[in-house]
Amino acid sequence: MLDRKIEDGTVFVVFDMEWNQPFTGKEYDFEVSELSGEIIEIGAVRYEYQNGTINRTGVFSCDIKPVKYKKLHFHVKKVTHKTNEDLKNGIDFKTAYEKFQKFCGPNAILAGWGNSDPDMLKMNLKFFGLDDELRMFFIDVQPVFSHFAGERGKQRSVEFAVDHYGIPKTDTFHNATADASYTGEVLKRIFDCSKTSEVLSVLSSSAIDPDIKREFSAVGAPCEKPEEALALLTPSERVCPICKASMFTEIKEFRIRKSVYALYNCEKHGDIFVRIRVKKNKSGHYYASSIERIATQNDYFLVASKREEYSKFGSKGEPKVDNMEEL
């Protein structure tokens, strides 16, 4: 069973990947939607937690030879500075992943900048017929940095975070190993510059299981009134969208302008963020769309800030200069 508890000896593997992508309009002998990117590089840095900080214990770097997207997409070439010749020097994906698994070891917690890498890794594993269960929690360091750097609600680049902490830029960005190293150093600075109990709390609450579906959406039928549209997607009792168990209300549903927000808790899957929005279609009818997902640091900030706005200004929200309503 996965354990997100962080204690002395806990291993963090901060990783980053680069992938090539298909050319628009080109025909392939498979569904491109099943492989929107083919991994060409994995870089990672391993850290061990001890006494309120993390220390580097290893580095992993591996180039992968693509078998589907053999020619570099111009965008990938521009960002990574790789060449088509570079793609010929890698090893096969299966061997590379086995090496990466060995590097991680058992019970590690994955971390990275942004949340796209675990999904891309799972896509590649599934496409190439490998076991796509990662069996490790994953922490997106970007919103964790925003929380501790006074940048809550903002999506900053890893280079911004590097500059914020004054970390020396000894390598170029958009190289998997370099980006993993920079992200790892940012995570270490977060530990070193913040109260340990708060860091552990934020990291634990931010850890998600990449092997389960984390976001669920729904769209209601058209209605004559906004209230009717909202009612269609507002059940009498909220249950966890993953396991269907009853949930405890942490922040009761409240409406501000044309959106409803709430935060619930599932005993098994943690906090669940809920947002329902009312919109109008071309025929003039109202309909609601909802999102339920395992809460992220950005979600905590969003629902808390909206709840504060609601407490101060009511359901109409803070008056806007341009008088435009939120959709």
147 and 282 in a single domain? The answer is: no
Question: What's the chain's average pLDDT?
Answer: 93
Distances (CA, A) of 221 to 226, 255, 321: 11, 20, 33
pLDDT in tens, 136-157: 999 999 999 999 998 887 889 9
Nearest to 176 by CA among 100, 70, 123: 100
pLDDT in tens, 227-282: 999 999 999 999 999 999 999 999 999 999 999 999 999 998 999 999 999 999 99
270-280 and 286-294 beta bridge pairing: antiparallel
Residues with Cβ < 8 Å from 180, sequence gap 6 or more? Answer: 14, 15, 16, 43, 44, 45, 112
Residue 322, pLDDT score: 55
How would you label 50-75 residue by residue, b for 16+ Cβ within 10 Å and e otherwise? eeeebeeeeebbbbbbbebbeebbee
Question: Letter for the amino acid at 1?
Answer: M
Confidence of residue 3 (pLDDT cuts 50, 70, 90): low
228 and 117 in a single domain? The answer is: no
Domain count, the chain: 2
User: Per the domain annotation, does 156 fall within a domain?
Assistant: yes
187 and 227 in a single domain? The answer is: no
Residue 160, pLDDT score: 96
- The one-character DSSP state at 221 is P
Quick check: 219 pLDDT over 60?
yes
Domain final residue, candidates 206, 241, 265? 206
d(CA 26, CA 21): 11
For 12, the enclosing helix (H) or strand (E) is: strand 11-20
SS3 308: helix
289 and 239 in a single domain? The answer is: yes
58 and 16 in a single domain? The answer is: yes
Confidence of residue 14 (pLDDT cuts 50, 70, 90): very high
Domain final residue, candidates 206, 233, 249? 206
133 and 280 in a single domain? The answer is: no
Residue 152, pLDDT score: 82
- The one-character DSSP state at 321 is T
11 phi, psi to nearest 5 deg: -105, 130
Provide the percentage of residues in the chain whose pLDDT is more than 90: 86
262 phi, psi to nearest 5 deg: -165, 165
Confidence of residue 1 (pLDDT cuts 50, 70, 90): very low
pLDDT in tens, 53-64: 999 999 999 999
**Exposed, middle or buried, 1 (CB in 10 Å: 0-12/13-18/19+)?**
exposed
188 and 236 in a single domain? The answer is: no
What is the pTM assigned to this prediction?
A: 0.87
pLDDT in tens, 93-135: 999 999 999 999 998 999 999 999 999 999 999 999 999 999 9
87 and 193 in a single domain? The answer is: yes
187 and 94 in a single domain? The answer is: yes
98 and 169 in a single domain? The answer is: yes
pLDDT greater at residue 2 or residue 31? 31
The upper half-sphere exposure of residue 50, i.e. CA atoms within 13 Å in the direction of its Cβ, equals 6
Quick check: 323 pLDDT over 50?
no
Identify the domain containing residue 86 by its residue range: 11-206
234: number of Cβ within 10 Å: 18
96 and 201 in a single domain? The answer is: yes
48 and 171 in a single domain? The answer is: yes
User: Per the domain annotation, does 323 fall within a domain?
Assistant: no
